[in-house]
Chains A and B, each alone.
Chain A
Amino acid sequence: MPDSLNTLIRAVEDANSSILLQEAVKNLAAARLEGAIPTLIAALSYNNPGAAVAAVDGLIQIGEPAVPSLLELLDMHNYTARSWAIRTLAGIGDPRGLVTLLGAATADFALSVRRAAAKGLGMMKWHWFPEELLEIAQAEAMEALLFVAQEDEEWVVRYSAIVGLQFLANAIAVSHPDWRSQILSNFEQIAAKEESWPVRARVLMAQQELQKTATIPTQDTDNRPSPLSSMDWQKIMEELYGRKGQERLVFAEGDPRRYEQLAVAIAQHSDE
Protein backbone atom coordinates (compact mmCIF):
# COMPACT_ATOMS: atom_id res chain seq x y z
CA MET A 1 0.00 0.00 0.00
CA PRO A 2 2.27 2.80 -1.17
CA ASP A 3 -0.35 5.40 -0.30
CA SER A 4 -0.31 4.52 3.34
CA LEU A 5 3.50 4.38 3.29
CA ASN A 6 3.62 7.91 1.90
CA THR A 7 1.19 9.11 4.51
CA LEU A 8 3.20 7.55 7.29
CA ILE A 9 6.46 9.03 6.00
CA ARG A 10 4.89 12.45 5.60
CA ALA A 11 3.70 12.31 9.20
CA VAL A 12 7.32 11.82 10.30
CA GLU A 13 8.53 14.68 8.13
CA ASP A 14 5.77 17.02 9.29
CA ALA A 15 6.00 16.25 13.01
CA ASN A 16 6.62 19.53 14.79
CA SER A 17 6.97 18.33 18.37
CA SER A 18 8.99 15.66 20.07
CA ILE A 19 5.92 13.67 21.07
CA LEU A 20 4.38 13.83 17.59
CA LEU A 21 7.66 12.69 16.09
CA GLN A 22 7.82 9.72 18.45
CA GLU A 23 4.29 8.73 17.54
CA ALA A 24 4.86 9.15 13.82
CA VAL A 25 8.04 7.06 13.86
CA LYS A 26 6.29 4.43 15.94
CA ASN A 27 3.46 4.21 13.41
CA LEU A 28 5.83 4.05 10.48
CA ALA A 29 7.88 1.35 12.21
CA ALA A 30 4.76 -0.68 12.92
CA ALA A 31 3.96 -0.87 9.19
CA ARG A 32 7.09 -3.03 8.67
CA LEU A 33 7.58 -1.84 5.09
CA GLU A 34 10.95 -1.87 3.37
CA GLY A 35 10.13 1.50 1.87
CA ALA A 36 10.30 2.92 5.38
CA ILE A 37 14.00 2.07 5.80
CA PRO A 38 15.53 5.46 4.80
CA THR A 39 13.12 7.42 6.99
CA LEU A 40 13.65 5.10 9.95
CA ILE A 41 17.41 5.31 9.56
CA ALA A 42 17.18 9.09 9.45
CA ALA A 43 15.23 8.95 12.71
CA LEU A 44 18.29 7.45 14.41
CA SER A 45 20.02 10.83 13.98
CA TYR A 46 17.28 13.07 15.39
CA ASN A 47 18.55 13.06 18.96
CA ASN A 48 15.10 12.01 20.14
CA PRO A 49 15.43 8.81 22.19
CA GLY A 50 11.75 7.90 21.93
CA ALA A 51 11.84 8.15 18.14
CA ALA A 52 15.16 6.30 17.97
CA VAL A 53 13.88 3.40 20.08
CA ALA A 54 10.83 3.08 17.83
CA ALA A 55 13.00 3.26 14.71
CA VAL A 56 15.38 0.58 16.05
CA ASP A 57 12.44 -1.72 16.76
CA GLY A 58 11.05 -1.13 13.28
CA LEU A 59 14.36 -1.73 11.55
CA ILE A 60 14.93 -4.92 13.50
CA GLN A 61 11.53 -6.16 12.36
CA ILE A 62 12.35 -5.36 8.74
CA GLY A 63 15.70 -7.07 9.26
CA GLU A 64 18.24 -7.90 6.60
CA PRO A 65 17.18 -5.37 3.89
CA ALA A 66 18.11 -2.59 6.33
CA VAL A 67 21.65 -3.84 6.89
CA PRO A 68 23.52 -2.15 4.00
CA SER A 69 22.17 1.29 4.95
CA LEU A 70 23.01 0.66 8.60
CA LEU A 71 26.58 -0.26 7.75
CA GLU A 72 26.82 2.95 5.79
CA LEU A 73 25.58 4.94 8.76
CA LEU A 74 28.30 3.41 10.91
CA ASP A 75 30.89 5.26 8.88
CA MET A 76 29.48 8.62 9.76
CA HIS A 77 30.46 10.93 12.56
CA ASN A 78 27.21 11.29 14.41
CA TYR A 79 28.05 9.28 17.48
CA THR A 80 24.50 8.91 18.77
CA ALA A 81 23.24 7.67 15.41
CA ARG A 82 26.19 5.30 15.24
CA SER A 83 25.35 3.76 18.56
CA TRP A 84 21.71 3.28 17.54
CA ALA A 85 22.88 1.66 14.30
CA ILE A 86 25.05 -0.80 16.21
CA ARG A 87 22.13 -1.57 18.46
CA THR A 88 20.00 -2.24 15.40
CA LEU A 89 22.62 -4.50 13.82
CA ALA A 90 22.77 -6.42 17.08
CA GLY A 91 19.01 -6.86 17.00
CA ILE A 92 18.98 -8.08 13.41
CA GLY A 93 21.85 -10.53 13.93
CA ASP A 94 23.07 -10.20 10.36
CA PRO A 95 26.52 -11.76 9.87
CA ARG A 96 27.76 -8.62 8.13
CA GLY A 97 27.60 -6.96 11.54
CA LEU A 98 29.68 -9.65 13.28
CA VAL A 99 33.05 -7.95 13.36
CA THR A 100 31.51 -4.60 14.24
CA LEU A 101 29.75 -6.26 17.16
CA LEU A 102 32.90 -8.03 18.33
CA GLY A 103 34.69 -4.69 18.51
CA ALA A 104 31.72 -2.87 20.03
CA ALA A 105 31.08 -5.45 22.76
CA THR A 106 34.65 -5.46 23.98
CA ALA A 107 35.80 -1.89 23.46
CA ASP A 108 33.08 0.65 22.74
CA PHE A 109 33.13 3.81 24.81
CA ALA A 110 29.36 3.76 25.46
CA LEU A 111 27.97 1.14 27.78
CA SER A 112 24.65 1.11 25.93
CA VAL A 113 26.52 0.00 22.80
CA ARG A 114 28.60 -2.63 24.60
CA ARG A 115 25.47 -4.06 26.18
CA ALA A 116 23.54 -4.25 22.90
CA ALA A 117 26.50 -5.75 21.07
CA ALA A 118 27.02 -8.42 23.74
CA LYS A 119 23.46 -9.67 23.46
CA GLY A 120 23.69 -9.46 19.66
CA LEU A 121 26.82 -11.63 19.58
CA GLY A 122 24.88 -14.43 21.21
CA MET A 123 21.97 -14.09 18.81
CA MET A 124 23.61 -13.94 15.39
CA LYS A 125 21.81 -15.67 12.54
CA TRP A 126 24.24 -18.55 12.85
CA HIS A 127 22.29 -20.70 10.36
CA TRP A 128 23.31 -18.29 7.62
CA PHE A 129 27.02 -18.87 8.07
CA PRO A 130 28.85 -21.29 5.77
CA GLU A 131 30.12 -24.16 7.84
CA GLU A 132 33.79 -23.26 7.60
CA LEU A 133 33.26 -19.73 8.81
CA LEU A 134 30.69 -20.69 11.46
CA GLU A 135 33.20 -22.31 13.77
CA ILE A 136 35.56 -19.36 13.75
CA ALA A 137 32.73 -16.87 14.16
CA GLN A 138 31.26 -18.72 17.11
CA ALA A 139 34.65 -19.19 18.74
CA GLU A 140 35.32 -15.46 18.43
CA ALA A 141 31.90 -14.61 19.82
CA MET A 142 32.37 -16.95 22.76
CA GLU A 143 35.80 -15.60 23.58
CA ALA A 144 34.55 -12.01 23.43
CA LEU A 145 31.48 -12.77 25.55
CA LEU A 146 33.41 -14.65 28.22
CA PHE A 147 35.75 -11.67 28.43
CA VAL A 148 32.94 -9.14 28.69
CA ALA A 149 30.98 -11.20 31.21
CA GLN A 150 33.93 -11.17 33.56
CA GLU A 151 35.79 -7.97 32.85
CA ASP A 152 33.37 -5.21 31.92
CA GLU A 153 33.08 -2.62 34.67
CA GLU A 154 29.34 -2.04 34.19
CA TRP A 155 26.88 -4.51 35.71
CA VAL A 156 24.45 -4.15 32.82
CA VAL A 157 27.08 -5.05 30.23
CA ARG A 158 28.09 -8.14 32.19
CA TYR A 159 24.40 -8.98 32.52
CA SER A 160 24.00 -8.67 28.78
CA ALA A 161 27.01 -10.89 28.11
CA ILE A 162 25.39 -13.59 30.27
CA VAL A 163 22.28 -13.33 28.09
CA GLY A 164 24.47 -13.59 24.99
CA LEU A 165 26.31 -16.62 26.38
CA GLN A 166 23.05 -18.36 27.19
CA PHE A 167 21.90 -18.03 23.59
CA LEU A 168 25.28 -19.02 22.22
CA ALA A 169 25.45 -22.10 24.48
CA ASN A 170 22.11 -23.12 23.06
CA ALA A 171 23.18 -22.54 19.47
CA ILE A 172 26.30 -24.72 19.81
CA ALA A 173 24.73 -27.42 21.97
CA VAL A 174 24.87 -30.01 19.19
CA SER A 175 27.92 -28.90 17.20
CA HIS A 176 30.20 -28.12 20.16
CA PRO A 177 29.05 -29.71 23.42
CA ASP A 178 32.55 -29.08 24.78
CA TRP A 179 32.17 -25.33 24.32
CA ARG A 180 28.79 -25.48 25.95
CA SER A 181 30.35 -27.16 28.98
CA GLN A 182 33.01 -24.48 28.99
CA ILE A 183 30.33 -21.77 29.12
CA LEU A 184 28.55 -23.58 31.94
CA SER A 185 31.69 -23.94 34.02
CA ASN A 186 32.42 -20.26 33.45
CA PHE A 187 28.93 -19.50 34.73
CA GLU A 188 29.79 -21.23 37.98
CA GLN A 189 32.95 -19.19 38.41
CA ILE A 190 31.11 -15.99 37.59
CA ALA A 191 28.30 -16.75 40.04
CA ALA A 192 30.88 -17.30 42.76
CA LYS A 193 32.71 -14.02 42.37
CA GLU A 194 30.19 -11.61 40.83
CA GLU A 195 29.35 -8.66 43.12
CA SER A 196 26.14 -7.54 41.47
CA TRP A 197 23.02 -9.39 42.60
CA PRO A 198 21.14 -8.82 39.35
CA VAL A 199 24.02 -10.31 37.35
CA ARG A 200 24.25 -13.32 39.67
CA ALA A 201 20.50 -13.81 39.35
CA ARG A 202 20.79 -13.70 35.56
CA VAL A 203 23.55 -16.34 35.65
CA LEU A 204 21.25 -18.52 37.73
CA MET A 205 18.41 -18.06 35.26
CA ALA A 206 20.73 -18.91 32.35
CA GLN A 207 21.87 -22.10 34.12
CA GLN A 208 18.28 -23.12 34.74
CA GLU A 209 17.20 -22.38 31.17
CA LEU A 210 20.12 -24.32 29.75
CA GLN A 211 19.33 -27.30 31.94
CA LYS A 212 15.76 -27.24 30.67
CA THR A 213 16.84 -27.25 27.05
CA ALA A 214 19.81 -29.58 27.48
CA THR A 215 18.30 -32.30 25.32
CA ILE A 216 16.16 -30.24 22.96
CA PRO A 217 18.22 -27.74 21.02
CA THR A 218 15.94 -24.88 20.05
CA GLN A 219 15.69 -24.15 16.37
CA ASP A 220 15.91 -20.65 15.02
CA THR A 221 12.40 -19.62 14.10
CA ASP A 222 13.61 -17.50 11.20
CA ASN A 223 14.18 -19.95 8.38
CA ARG A 224 14.71 -17.50 5.58
CA PRO A 225 17.78 -18.40 3.53
CA SER A 226 20.87 -16.26 3.75
CA PRO A 227 20.73 -13.35 1.32
CA LEU A 228 24.48 -12.87 1.58
CA SER A 229 26.75 -13.20 -1.42
CA SER A 230 30.19 -14.75 -1.54
CA MET A 231 31.52 -11.18 -1.66
CA ASP A 232 29.93 -10.56 1.73
CA TRP A 233 31.45 -13.69 3.19
CA GLN A 234 34.82 -12.81 1.74
CA LYS A 235 34.64 -9.44 3.46
CA ILE A 236 33.52 -10.90 6.79
CA MET A 237 36.33 -13.41 6.66
CA GLU A 238 38.92 -10.75 5.91
CA GLU A 239 37.66 -8.63 8.79
CA LEU A 240 37.80 -11.59 11.14
CA TYR A 241 41.29 -12.36 9.92
CA GLY A 242 42.34 -8.77 10.53
CA ARG A 243 40.92 -8.94 14.01
CA LYS A 244 42.65 -12.22 14.73
CA GLY A 245 45.86 -10.76 13.42
CA GLN A 246 45.65 -7.87 15.85
CA GLU A 247 45.04 -10.21 18.74
CA ARG A 248 47.99 -12.33 17.74
CA LEU A 249 50.30 -9.46 18.52
CA VAL A 250 49.21 -9.83 22.11
CA PHE A 251 48.22 -13.43 22.59
CA ALA A 252 50.37 -15.20 20.05
CA GLU A 253 47.50 -17.38 18.97
CA GLY A 254 45.33 -17.81 15.89
CA ASP A 255 46.44 -19.76 12.91
CA PRO A 256 46.65 -17.93 9.60
CA ARG A 257 46.70 -21.21 7.70
CA ARG A 258 43.16 -21.79 8.83
CA TYR A 259 42.17 -18.66 7.03
CA GLU A 260 43.92 -19.67 3.83
CA GLN A 261 41.81 -22.81 3.67
CA LEU A 262 38.79 -20.76 4.51
CA ALA A 263 39.47 -18.32 1.72
CA VAL A 264 39.57 -21.19 -0.72
CA ALA A 265 36.42 -22.74 0.71
CA ILE A 266 34.48 -19.52 0.54
CA ALA A 267 35.64 -18.77 -2.96
CA GLN A 268 34.35 -22.20 -3.97
CA HIS A 269 30.98 -21.45 -2.42
CA SER A 270 30.52 -18.73 -4.98
CA ASP A 271 26.85 -18.18 -5.68
CA GLU A 272 25.68 -21.70 -6.31
Chain B
Amino acid sequence: MYRHLSEGTGNRKQEQKVENAANIQDDNQLTVEQAIANLQGEDLGLRVYAAWWLGRFRVDAPEAIDVLIQALEDEDDRTNAGGYPLRRNAARALGKLGEQRAVPSLIKALECSDFYVREAAAQSLEMLGDSSSIPRLIELLNDQVPGTLPAPEPPQLAQPFDAIIEALGTLGASDAIPIIQEFLDHPVPRIQYAAARAMYQLTSESTAGYNQYGDRLIHALAQDDLQLRRAVLSDLGAIGYLPAAEAIADTLAENSLKLISLKGLLEKQLQPTKPEDLSPGAIKVMQLMDALL
Protein backbone atom coordinates (compact mmCIF):
# COMPACT_ATOMS: atom_id res chain seq x y z
CA MET B 1 0.00 0.00 0.00
CA TYR B 2 2.97 2.32 -0.41
CA ARG B 3 1.73 3.08 -3.82
CA HIS B 4 -0.14 6.21 -2.80
CA LEU B 5 3.14 7.65 -1.57
CA SER B 6 4.77 7.50 -4.90
CA GLU B 7 2.51 9.12 -7.39
CA GLY B 8 2.40 12.59 -8.68
CA THR B 9 -1.05 13.87 -7.90
CA GLY B 10 -1.06 16.79 -5.50
CA ASN B 11 -3.47 15.26 -3.08
CA ARG B 12 -1.35 12.17 -2.59
CA LYS B 13 1.75 14.23 -2.08
CA GLN B 14 -0.07 16.17 0.56
CA GLU B 15 -1.01 13.00 2.33
CA GLN B 16 2.61 11.96 2.37
CA LYS B 17 3.56 15.26 3.91
CA VAL B 18 1.05 14.69 6.68
CA GLU B 19 2.44 11.21 7.17
CA ASN B 20 6.03 12.43 7.36
CA ALA B 21 5.15 15.24 9.73
CA ALA B 22 3.33 12.87 12.02
CA ASN B 23 6.25 10.45 12.07
CA ILE B 24 8.59 13.17 13.13
CA GLN B 25 6.31 14.42 15.85
CA ASP B 26 5.21 12.30 18.75
CA ASP B 27 2.90 9.67 17.32
CA ASN B 28 0.86 9.56 20.46
CA GLN B 29 -0.05 13.19 20.73
CA LEU B 30 -3.70 12.39 19.97
CA THR B 31 -5.72 9.99 22.06
CA VAL B 32 -8.44 7.82 20.57
CA GLU B 33 -11.10 9.80 22.44
CA GLN B 34 -9.59 13.07 21.31
CA ALA B 35 -9.43 11.96 17.68
CA ILE B 36 -13.04 10.82 17.73
CA ALA B 37 -14.06 14.13 19.33
CA ASN B 38 -11.99 16.13 16.83
CA LEU B 39 -13.64 14.32 13.95
CA GLN B 40 -16.98 15.74 15.10
CA GLY B 41 -15.61 19.13 16.13
CA GLU B 42 -15.71 22.57 14.54
CA ASP B 43 -12.13 22.74 13.25
CA LEU B 44 -12.05 21.35 9.72
CA GLY B 45 -8.28 20.87 9.75
CA LEU B 46 -8.46 18.82 12.94
CA ARG B 47 -11.25 16.73 11.46
CA VAL B 48 -9.21 15.80 8.39
CA TYR B 49 -6.18 15.00 10.52
CA ALA B 50 -8.22 12.91 12.97
CA ALA B 51 -9.63 10.83 10.12
CA TRP B 52 -6.13 10.15 8.81
CA TRP B 53 -4.84 9.46 12.32
CA LEU B 54 -7.53 6.86 13.09
CA GLY B 55 -6.53 4.97 9.96
CA ARG B 56 -2.80 5.33 10.49
CA PHE B 57 -2.95 3.91 14.00
CA ARG B 58 -5.58 1.33 13.08
CA VAL B 59 -8.08 2.46 15.67
CA ASP B 60 -10.90 0.02 15.04
CA ALA B 61 -13.04 0.92 18.06
CA PRO B 62 -16.76 0.86 17.11
CA GLU B 63 -17.17 4.59 17.81
CA ALA B 64 -14.27 5.35 15.48
CA ILE B 65 -15.90 3.33 12.69
CA ASP B 66 -19.20 5.13 13.32
CA VAL B 67 -17.76 8.62 13.06
CA LEU B 68 -15.70 7.72 9.99
CA ILE B 69 -18.79 6.32 8.25
CA GLN B 70 -20.62 9.54 9.10
CA ALA B 71 -17.70 11.53 7.71
CA LEU B 72 -18.25 9.87 4.31
CA GLU B 73 -21.31 12.11 4.00
CA ASP B 74 -19.63 15.29 5.20
CA GLU B 75 -20.74 18.49 3.47
CA ASP B 76 -18.79 21.06 5.52
CA ASP B 77 -15.29 20.50 4.19
CA ARG B 78 -15.09 21.51 0.52
CA THR B 79 -12.24 22.59 -1.71
CA ASN B 80 -12.75 25.51 -4.08
CA ALA B 81 -13.27 23.06 -6.92
CA GLY B 82 -15.89 21.14 -4.94
CA GLY B 83 -13.78 18.27 -3.58
CA TYR B 84 -14.35 16.61 -0.20
CA PRO B 85 -11.05 16.34 1.74
CA LEU B 86 -12.61 14.83 4.86
CA ARG B 87 -14.51 12.20 2.88
CA ARG B 88 -11.25 11.21 1.15
CA ASN B 89 -9.43 10.63 4.40
CA ALA B 90 -12.39 8.86 5.99
CA ALA B 91 -12.65 6.51 3.00
CA ARG B 92 -8.92 5.72 3.18
CA ALA B 93 -9.06 5.13 6.93
CA LEU B 94 -12.01 2.74 6.68
CA GLY B 95 -10.04 0.50 4.33
CA LYS B 96 -7.32 0.10 6.93
CA LEU B 97 -9.63 -0.77 9.79
CA GLY B 98 -10.91 -4.07 8.44
CA GLU B 99 -14.52 -3.51 9.49
CA GLN B 100 -17.01 -4.94 6.98
CA ARG B 101 -19.72 -2.67 8.37
CA ALA B 102 -18.16 0.11 6.31
CA VAL B 103 -18.76 -1.67 2.99
CA PRO B 104 -22.24 -0.28 2.10
CA SER B 105 -21.14 3.29 2.86
CA LEU B 106 -17.98 2.87 0.79
CA ILE B 107 -20.04 1.51 -2.11
CA LYS B 108 -22.18 4.63 -1.78
CA ALA B 109 -19.00 6.72 -1.84
CA LEU B 110 -18.26 5.34 -5.31
CA GLU B 111 -21.04 7.69 -6.47
CA CYS B 112 -19.33 10.76 -5.05
CA SER B 113 -18.65 13.60 -7.47
CA ASP B 114 -15.07 13.86 -6.14
CA PHE B 115 -12.64 11.71 -8.15
CA TYR B 116 -10.36 11.18 -5.14
CA VAL B 117 -13.19 10.01 -2.91
CA ARG B 118 -14.08 7.41 -5.54
CA GLU B 119 -10.44 6.39 -5.78
CA ALA B 120 -10.08 6.03 -2.01
CA ALA B 121 -13.36 4.11 -1.78
CA ALA B 122 -12.27 1.65 -4.49
CA GLN B 123 -8.92 1.08 -2.76
CA SER B 124 -10.59 0.53 0.58
CA LEU B 125 -13.16 -1.85 -0.85
CA GLU B 126 -10.23 -3.81 -2.28
CA MET B 127 -8.62 -3.96 1.16
CA LEU B 128 -11.84 -5.05 2.83
CA GLY B 129 -12.18 -7.87 0.29
CA ASP B 130 -15.97 -7.77 0.11
CA SER B 131 -17.23 -8.90 -3.28
CA SER B 132 -20.62 -7.22 -2.90
CA SER B 133 -19.05 -4.07 -4.33
CA ILE B 134 -18.16 -5.76 -7.64
CA PRO B 135 -21.28 -4.74 -9.65
CA ARG B 136 -20.93 -1.08 -8.69
CA LEU B 137 -17.18 -1.11 -9.43
CA ILE B 138 -17.89 -2.51 -12.90
CA GLU B 139 -20.48 0.22 -13.53
CA LEU B 140 -17.98 2.83 -12.46
CA LEU B 141 -15.34 1.35 -14.76
CA ASN B 142 -17.88 1.69 -17.57
CA ASP B 143 -18.65 5.31 -16.64
CA GLN B 144 -22.22 4.29 -15.85
CA VAL B 145 -22.55 5.82 -12.39
CA PRO B 146 -24.65 9.01 -12.46
CA GLY B 147 -23.14 12.03 -10.79
CA THR B 148 -19.53 11.03 -11.32
CA LEU B 149 -19.20 12.80 -14.66
CA PRO B 150 -17.96 15.36 -15.23
CA ALA B 151 -15.81 15.36 -12.09
CA PRO B 152 -15.60 18.81 -10.53
CA GLU B 153 -11.95 18.19 -9.73
CA PRO B 154 -10.93 16.46 -12.90
CA PRO B 155 -7.43 15.08 -12.94
CA GLN B 156 -6.68 13.94 -16.50
CA LEU B 157 -9.04 11.00 -16.24
CA ALA B 158 -12.76 10.51 -15.85
CA GLN B 159 -12.41 7.73 -13.29
CA PRO B 160 -9.70 6.30 -11.05
CA PHE B 161 -9.43 3.40 -13.49
CA ASP B 162 -6.30 1.87 -11.96
CA ALA B 163 -7.80 1.71 -8.46
CA ILE B 164 -11.06 0.26 -9.79
CA ILE B 165 -9.27 -2.36 -11.91
CA GLU B 166 -6.95 -3.36 -9.08
CA ALA B 167 -9.93 -3.78 -6.76
CA LEU B 168 -11.74 -5.94 -9.30
CA GLY B 169 -8.64 -8.11 -9.71
CA THR B 170 -8.17 -8.62 -5.99
CA LEU B 171 -11.87 -9.27 -5.44
CA GLY B 172 -11.82 -12.00 -8.09
CA ALA B 173 -14.36 -10.34 -10.39
CA SER B 174 -14.04 -12.72 -13.34
CA ASP B 175 -17.16 -11.18 -14.91
CA ALA B 176 -15.08 -8.07 -15.47
CA ILE B 177 -12.42 -9.80 -17.59
CA PRO B 178 -13.72 -8.57 -20.98
CA ILE B 179 -13.83 -4.95 -19.81
CA ILE B 180 -10.49 -5.06 -18.03
CA GLN B 181 -8.88 -6.58 -21.11
CA GLU B 182 -9.62 -3.38 -23.03
CA PHE B 183 -7.59 -1.39 -20.53
CA LEU B 184 -4.46 -3.35 -21.47
CA ASP B 185 -4.16 -0.82 -24.31
CA HIS B 186 -5.09 2.28 -22.35
CA PRO B 187 -2.87 5.27 -23.22
CA VAL B 188 -1.86 5.76 -19.56
CA PRO B 189 0.85 3.17 -18.73
CA ARG B 190 -0.10 2.92 -15.05
CA ILE B 191 -3.59 1.84 -16.07
CA GLN B 192 -2.21 -0.73 -18.54
CA TYR B 193 -0.21 -2.26 -15.69
CA ALA B 194 -3.19 -2.31 -13.37
CA ALA B 195 -5.05 -4.18 -16.10
CA ALA B 196 -2.16 -6.66 -16.58
CA ARG B 197 -2.06 -7.25 -12.84
CA ALA B 198 -5.81 -7.85 -12.66
CA MET B 199 -5.79 -10.11 -15.71
CA TYR B 200 -3.09 -12.21 -14.07
CA GLN B 201 -5.20 -12.50 -10.94
CA LEU B 202 -8.42 -13.27 -12.81
CA THR B 203 -7.30 -15.72 -15.48
CA SER B 204 -6.70 -19.30 -14.52
CA GLU B 205 -3.29 -20.88 -14.61
CA SER B 206 -4.42 -23.34 -17.26
CA THR B 207 -5.23 -20.54 -19.71
CA ALA B 208 -2.78 -20.26 -22.57
CA GLY B 209 -0.79 -17.08 -22.26
CA TYR B 210 -1.43 -16.80 -18.52
CA ASN B 211 2.12 -15.66 -17.86
CA GLN B 212 2.02 -12.96 -20.54
CA TYR B 213 0.37 -10.62 -18.03
CA GLY B 214 3.10 -11.12 -15.46
CA ASP B 215 5.77 -10.85 -18.14
CA ARG B 216 4.28 -7.57 -19.25
CA LEU B 217 4.90 -6.23 -15.78
CA ILE B 218 8.50 -7.50 -15.88
CA HIS B 219 9.08 -5.54 -19.09
CA ALA B 220 7.57 -2.49 -17.44
CA LEU B 221 10.35 -2.57 -14.83
CA ALA B 222 12.68 -1.35 -17.58
CA GLN B 223 10.67 1.88 -17.95
CA ASP B 224 12.54 5.15 -17.62
CA ASP B 225 9.99 6.61 -15.24
CA LEU B 226 10.80 5.92 -11.57
CA GLN B 227 7.19 6.44 -10.45
CA LEU B 228 6.05 3.80 -12.90
CA ARG B 229 8.72 1.34 -11.82
CA ARG B 230 7.60 1.83 -8.24
CA ALA B 231 3.97 1.17 -9.16
CA VAL B 232 4.97 -1.98 -11.05
CA LEU B 233 7.01 -3.23 -8.08
CA SER B 234 3.84 -2.96 -6.05
CA ASP B 235 1.83 -4.81 -8.71
CA LEU B 236 4.34 -7.66 -8.93
CA GLY B 237 4.42 -8.00 -5.16
CA ALA B 238 0.62 -8.11 -5.09
CA ILE B 239 0.46 -11.00 -7.53
CA GLY B 240 3.59 -12.73 -6.20
CA TYR B 241 4.94 -13.41 -9.69
CA LEU B 242 8.05 -15.55 -9.14
CA PRO B 243 9.64 -15.18 -12.61
CA ALA B 244 9.97 -11.46 -11.84
CA ALA B 245 12.31 -11.99 -8.88
CA GLU B 246 15.60 -11.08 -10.59
CA ALA B 247 14.09 -8.20 -12.53
CA ILE B 248 12.74 -6.78 -9.26
CA ALA B 249 16.14 -7.06 -7.59
CA ASP B 250 17.84 -5.37 -10.56
CA THR B 251 15.49 -2.50 -11.30
CA LEU B 252 16.55 1.00 -10.34
CA ALA B 253 14.40 1.87 -7.33
CA GLU B 254 14.69 2.05 -3.56
CA ASN B 255 15.68 -1.22 -1.92
CA SER B 256 12.79 -0.79 0.51
CA LEU B 257 10.28 -1.04 -2.30
CA LYS B 258 12.09 -3.96 -3.90
CA LEU B 259 12.08 -5.78 -0.57
CA ILE B 260 8.34 -5.29 -0.11
CA SER B 261 7.78 -6.52 -3.64
CA LEU B 262 9.97 -9.59 -3.10
CA LYS B 263 8.17 -10.22 0.17
CA GLY B 264 4.99 -10.63 -1.89
CA LEU B 265 6.76 -13.24 -4.03
CA LEU B 266 8.13 -15.02 -0.99
CA GLU B 267 4.75 -15.18 0.72
CA LYS B 268 3.26 -16.75 -2.36
CA GLN B 269 6.04 -19.36 -2.30
CA LEU B 270 5.39 -20.14 1.36
CA GLN B 271 1.63 -20.55 1.09
CA PRO B 272 1.37 -24.05 -0.36
CA THR B 273 4.32 -25.66 1.41
CA LYS B 274 4.56 -27.00 4.88
CA PRO B 275 6.40 -24.59 7.17
CA GLU B 276 9.42 -26.84 7.51
CA ASP B 277 9.91 -27.02 3.74
CA LEU B 278 11.45 -24.17 1.81
CA SER B 279 10.83 -24.37 -1.92
CA PRO B 280 13.71 -23.57 -4.29
CA GLY B 281 11.73 -20.48 -5.28
CA ALA B 282 11.51 -19.30 -1.67
CA ILE B 283 15.25 -19.78 -1.17
CA LYS B 284 16.03 -17.89 -4.35
CA VAL B 285 13.81 -14.98 -3.33
CA MET B 286 15.40 -14.84 0.13
CA GLN B 287 18.89 -14.81 -1.38
CA LEU B 288 17.87 -11.84 -3.51
CA MET B 289 16.35 -10.14 -0.46
CA ASP B 290 19.50 -10.71 1.60
CA ALA B 291 21.51 -8.81 -0.98
CA LEU B 292 19.16 -5.81 -0.79
CA LEU B 293 19.28 -5.31 2.97
Seen from chain A, the residues whose Cβ lies within 8 Å of a Cβ on chain B are: 18-19, 22, 49-50, 53, 111-112, 115-116, 118-119, 155-156, 159-160, 163, 197-198, 200-202, 204-205, 208
Contacts and interface: CB of A to CB of B under 8 A. Distances in A.
B109 interface: no
B253 A205 contact: no
B275 A204 contact: yes
B226 A50 contact: yes
Contact of A18 (B226, B275, B282): B226
Interface of A is mostly: helix
B182 interface: no
Given A49-B252, A205-B283, A205-B286, 14 more contacts: A49-B226, A50-B226, A50-B253, A53-B252, A112-B255, A159-B289, A197-B266, A198-B263, A198-B270, A198-B286, A202-B286, A204-B278, A205-B278, A208-B278
A198 B268 CA distance: 10
A116 B254 CA distance: 13
A197 B271 CA distance: 9
B276 interface: yes
Interface residues of B, number: 22
15 contacts: A49-B253, A50-B252, A119-B293, A155-B263, A156-B259, A156-B260, A156-B293, A159-B293, A163-B293, A198-B267, A198-B270, A198-B286, A202-B286, A205-B278, A205-B286
Contact of B266 (A19, A49, A201, A208): A201
Contacts of B275: 200, 204
Q: Identify which of A50, A111, A160, A201 gathers the most chain B CB atoms within 10 Å of its CB.
A: A201
- A-B residue pairs, 9 tightest by C-beta: A50-B252, A119-B293, A160-B293, A49-B254, A198-B266, A197-B270, A198-B263, A115-B293, A163-B290
Contacts of A119: 290, 293
B255 to A, nearest CB: 7
Interface in B243-266: 252-256, 259-260, 263, 266
A132 to B, nearest CB: 30
Contacts of A163: 290, 293
Contacts of A159: 289, 293
A142 to B, nearest CB: 18
A188 to B, nearest CB: 13
Nearest to B24: A109
Nearest to A118: B293
A18 B270 CA distance: 37
A29 to B, nearest CB: 13
A201 B284 CA distance: 12
A208 B275 CA distance: 13
A50 B253 CA distance: 6
A101 B226 CA distance: 30
A19 B224 contact: yes
Nearest to A112: B256
A197 B279 CA distance: 14
